[in-house]
Amino acid sequence: MKRRSFIKNSSFASLALTTTPISIFQHNLDYTIEELMGKADIELFGEDINLKEEAYDAFLNMRDVALDSGIDIKIVSSYRSFERQAQIFERKYLSYTEESNMIPLDAIDKIVEYSTIPGTSRHHWGTDMDIIDGTVEPQGDVLVTEKFEGKGPYSPLKEWMDKNSESFGFYLVYTDDPKRRGFKYEPWHYSYAPLSKPMLTAFRSKNIMKQLEKEEFIGSDQFTSGFLKSYIEDNVLDINPYLL
Ligand SMILES: [Zn+2]
């Protein structure tokens, strides 16, 4: 097992100096806002896995059992820091507004079909992951809904997960419920519920809206209170109800 450290920029570094080490909080569920927003130096386990310890152990168990059915559950994305998410957001924002000439609010609506506003990604928590089947040679973009359905290459993986993942604690977050708002259907994104449920509860208790209004990155000056309110209701909270 390997401990990973993440480089913090100077403003986060000064915050970190005054923050009590995260490890003592992990079992009493008192998560800090820095940890919930991807700004803390958290302990992650497994090369190319990068999950919190309990989620990592559960993942290894699940992967072993799936291997017996010829499925190699492979993580393509798990932990992501605030800074990494901000880079993704800013790159898309600049591409949509400058190259595609979209107006800022349309660009933001387009970004939040699949990508989060930095600070609100479940990938900040070390509990969530995007997966594919490692037995299939990847071709082009892998996180594409059609590839997880019908005759798609990841259809057997999705079927196996539908039957088995919940018994290991992993739940689909962005389901195909037609009444669900927010992020589109993501058949590849799973969350380790025993940790992520209390983390979401903690996040909701911290006044997410107030935290987001303080953030500064390219495009954040376009956020109105109305936009942030509906973003939190739809994209952060309109998920698989089991995870609430
Ligand atoms: Zn994801």
Structure tokens at 97: 């507004």
pLDDT at 17 over 80: no
Task: Tell me how far CA of residue 238 lies from CA of 33, 37, 185, 230, 242, in angstroms.
Answer: 21, 19, 12, 10, 11
Structure tokens at 54: 């309990």
Q: What is the pLDDT of residues 140-157, one digit of tens each?
A: 999 999 999 999 999 999
* Half-sphere exposure at residue 176, Cβ-oriented, CA atoms within 13 angstroms: 8
Least-confidence region, from 123-132, 142-151, 193-202, 205-214: 205-214
CA of 199 from ligand 1 middle (Å) equals 16
CA of 192 from ligand 1 middle (Å) equals 12
The pTM assigned to this predicted structure is 0.86
CA pair distance 177, 158, nearest whole angstrom: 16
Q: What percent of the chain has pLDDT over 70?
A: 88
At residue 129, the 3 state secondary structure works out as: strand
CA of 183 from ligand 1 middle (Å) equals 10
pLDDT at 3: 52
Domains of the chain: 11-243 (3.30.1380.10)
DSSP string, 130-197: EEEETTSPP-S-S--GGGGSTT-TTHHHHHHHHHHGGGGTEEESS---TT--SSPP-TTEEEEHHHHH
pLDDT at 96 over 60: yes
CA of 85 from ligand 1 middle (Å) equals 12
CA of 107 from ligand 1 middle (Å) equals 20
Report the chain's mean pLDDT, rounded to a whole number: 90
Q: Comparing C-alpha atoms, which of 42, 44, 62 is closest to residue 53? A: 44
Averaged pLDDT, 161-173:
98
pLDDT at 7: 42
CA of 28 from ligand 1 middle (Å) equals 26
CA pair distance 165, 55, nearest whole angstrom: 12
pLDDT at 6 over 90: no
CA of 136 from ligand 1 middle (Å) equals 20
pLDDT at 11 over 70: no
